[in-house]
């Protein structure tokens, strides 16, 4: 058996699953220390089913803690930014496009080092090892404990970063190191930014993962701990502790994966309605469609894998402005809905109040919204549905109606068919789809390289990289016979003279646990 947990900003959700069956689910408020809230919600599903803790083989956790911390500029560590590329790239130094408050939060400690290679892997300048050692000694003097290392074309040739890391470790054994080739893709600036974000979150990630471990220890659960990453696949807790940036979009990804599992659909639009926002994305082959654009996280451009999701200011806590013709959102009472919504004794009219007044659900004190006029109810519901329909239309790639899946605690806001939707699914356990998405997580791996195709070696190159990514999945804990290639993406690099292609291959497999 396995437990899926989603640690959100307001609630922590949990589900207990055996095979494809959901045995129990629960919601509890997220606590400041994280561990006690996680302990409470796991205990709730165990008590509900009377399942012994010895039967729990694994616990899968999805979290938005790290992305929230970066966006809010909280709990960030100062970092020593090292770029290996001179004499190239000095025209655009690290952090040049970062917001001022973020630069201040992580410090402005930059080290530009000689060394690097071309996209073919041919070296144009050897690594200046003495400069790396000198930089490491200065980091120690400044009291810095985290360094992201980025070298030009590192996904093609990693040895520059590996050698620099070894030198730094020999001088400062206690320093934490992030290698850009492990967290980003080809573009230098975006990959460097991703490495810097990761390095700034390492102290927080250790605290968070230790909190998860403490929760399991308090419950005497000996099952393995996993954390979901941006593409919906799993990494073990030790890897997650070193790569928190890989969890930045785990929240919407888990909801989309859970939606696909609950509905049985592999191709559909997913509408995840929370307390403050609604996330709209597409499932392709059961996984979220990935964005092809650079991603903006807290005002910083990155290029690692993230789902293509549109967020709008609409949720169960959205404030209804009666004076302006029943405008709904984007302002929200958020996590204070249990205090401020009318049905819970407050004085603020929210979207959830409207749903109760319209008879769409039975929550709280229905008498508290009996005075809401039918005109306001109708206008509010029209505004809610129009917002969702507009978001769906913006995310569709054709005018053809598509299946849609409603999930999230705010799914009660939708009461009638949506334009552009062929069929609307509202599955059981929709409100905890995020935790289910974590529980069903698979093991995944990807390889992205720049390759040159000869006259007849394309198939051979693809086959070799496919074999390598398959081995990576198995080494990560995947069951060999379940591993399959789910994506092969080729992009011709027309700005280069050679027949160069950016090749990305991704594979997934079921996690090797006993149910």
What is the layout of strands, in order, in the sheet containing 80-86? 109-114, 80-86, 146-151, 176-179
Contact 138, 175 (CB under 8 A): no
- CA dist 455 and 501 (Å) reads 14
Residue 197 zone, left/alpha/beta (φ > 0; ψ -120 to 50; rest): alpha
Task: Give 364's contacts (C-beta < 8 A, 6+ positions apart).
Answer: 341, 343, 344, 356
* Annotation: CATH topology of 265-437: Nucleotidyltransferase; domain 5 (3.30.420)
Across the chain, which has 515 residues, the per-10-residue mean pLDDT values are 85 90 90 87 94 92 82 86 95 91 91 91 93 96 95 89 96 94 83 93 92 92 89 84 86 89 93 87 85 75 78 89 79 83 94 94 92 92 94 91 92 91 93 91 82 78 92 85 87 68 86 64
| Three-class secondary structure of residue 174 per DSSP | coil
If you count DSSP H runs as helices and E runs as strands, how many of each does the chain have, helices first? 14, 25
- CA dist 259 and 383 (Å) reads 24
For residue 52, with 0-12 CB atoms within 10 Å meaning exposed, 13-18 middle and 19 or more buried, which class applies?
Answer: exposed
Q: DSSP state, 246?
A: G
Q: What is the CA angle 452-457-458, rounded to 5?
A: 70
Q: What's the pLDDT at 286?
A: 80
Q: How many Cβ atoms from other residues are within 10 Å of residue 89's Cβ?
A: 18
Give 407-416 pLDDT, tens digit per residue.
988 899 998 8
Q: How many residues are recorded in the chain?
A: 515
Q: Which residues of 17-50 are buried (b: 16+ CB within 10 A; e: fewer)?
A: beeeebbbbbbbebeeebbbbbbbbbbbbbeeee
For residue 373, with 0-12 CB atoms within 10 Å meaning exposed, 13-18 middle and 19 or more buried, which class applies?
Answer: exposed
- What's the gap between Cα 135 and its chain centre? 33
- CA dist 358 and 352 (Å) reads 10
- CA dist 15 and 6 (Å) reads 9
Contact 234, 242 (CB under 8 A): no
Give 52-95 pLDDT, tens digit per residue.
999 999 999 998 778 777 877 878 999 999 999 999 998 999 99
Tell me which residue has tokens 């560590």. 77
Return the sign of the alpha-carbon dihedral for residues 160, 164, 170, 174.
negative
Task: Give 503's contacts (C-beta < 8 A, 6+ positions apart).
Answer: 448, 449, 450, 451, 461, 462, 465, 488, 489, 490, 491
Q: DSSP state, 367?
A: G
Tokens matching residue 475: 């080494």
- Beta strands at 176-179 and 402-407: parallel, antiparallel or unpaired: unpaired
Q: DSSP state, 343?
A: G
Q: What's the pLDDT at 8?
A: 76
E strands, 167-314, are: 176-179, 224-228, 233-236, 268-273, 278-284, 287-288, 295-297, 300-302, 309-312
Q: What's the pLDDT at 30?
A: 80
Q: What's the pLDDT at 515?
A: 45
- CA dist 319 and 337 (Å) reads 10
Q: What's the pLDDT at 298?
A: 77
Domain 77-200: top CATH class: alpha beta
Contact 432, 27 (CB under 8 A): yes
Tell me which residue has tokens 């979207």. 351
């Amino acid at each position: 058996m396995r437990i899926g947990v989603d640690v959100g900003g307001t609630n922590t959700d949990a589900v207990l699953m055996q095979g494809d069956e959901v045995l129990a689910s629960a919601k509890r408020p997220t606590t400041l220390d994280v561990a006690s809230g996680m302990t409470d919600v796991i205990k709730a599903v165990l008590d509900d089913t009377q399942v012994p803790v010895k039967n729990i083989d694994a616990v899968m956790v999805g979290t938005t803690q790290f992305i929230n911390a970066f966006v809010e500029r909280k709990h960030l560590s100062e970092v020593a930014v090292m770029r290996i590329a001179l004499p190239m790239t000095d025209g655009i130094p690290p952090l040049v496009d970062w917001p001022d408050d973020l630069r201040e939060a992580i410090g402005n400690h930059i080290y530009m080092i000689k060394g690097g290679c071309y996209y073919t892997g041919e070296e144009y300048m050897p690594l200046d090892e003495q400069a790396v050692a000198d930089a490491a000694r200065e980091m120690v003097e400044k009291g810095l404990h985290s360094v992201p290392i980025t070298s030009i074309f590192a996904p093609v040739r990693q040895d520059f970063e590996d050698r620099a890391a070894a030198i730094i470790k020999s001088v400062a054994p206690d320093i934490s190191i992030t290698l850009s080739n492990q967290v980003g893709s080809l573009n230098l600036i975006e990959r460097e930014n991703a490495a810097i974000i990761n390095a700034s979150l390492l102290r927080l990630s250790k605290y968070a993962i230790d909190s998860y471990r403490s929760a399991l220890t308090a419950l005497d659960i000996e099952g393995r701990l996993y954390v979901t990453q941006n593409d919906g696949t799993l990494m073990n807790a030790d890897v997650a502790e070193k790569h928190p940036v890989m969890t930045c979009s785990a929240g919407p990804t888990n909801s989309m994966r859970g939606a696909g599992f609950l509905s049985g659909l592999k191709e559909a639009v997913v509408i995840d309605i929370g307390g403050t926002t609604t996330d709209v994305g597409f499932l392709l082959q059961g996984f979220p469609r990935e964005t092809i654009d650079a991603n903006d996280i807290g005002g910083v451009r990155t290029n690692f894998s993230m789902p293509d999701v549109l967020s709008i200011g609409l949720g169960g806590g959205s404030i209804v402005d009666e004076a302006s013709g029943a405008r709904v959102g984007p302002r929200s009472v958020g996590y204070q809905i249990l205090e401020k919504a009318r049905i819970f004794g407050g004085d603020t009219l929210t979207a959830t109040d409207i749903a109760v007044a319209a008879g769409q659900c039975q929550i709280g004190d229905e008498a508290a919204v009996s005075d809401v006029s039918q005109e306001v109810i109708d206008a509010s519901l029209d505004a809610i549905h129009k917002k969702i329909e507009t978001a769906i239309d913006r995310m569709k790639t054709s005018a053809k109606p598509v299946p849609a899946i409603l999930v999230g605690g705010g799914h009660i806001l939708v009461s009638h068919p949506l334009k552009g939707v062929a069929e609307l699914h509202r599955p059981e356990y929709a409100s905890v789809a995020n935790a289910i998405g974590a529980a069903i997580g698979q093991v995944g791996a990807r390889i992205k390289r720049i390759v040159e195709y000869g006259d007849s070696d394309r198939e051979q190159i693809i086959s070799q990289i496919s074999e390598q990514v398959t081995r990576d999945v198995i080494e990560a804990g995947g069951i060999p016979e379940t591993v399959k290639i789910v994506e092969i993406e080729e992009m011709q690099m027309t700005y280069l003279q050679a027949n160069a292609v950016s090749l990305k291959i991704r594979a997934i497999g079921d996690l090797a646990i006993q149910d």
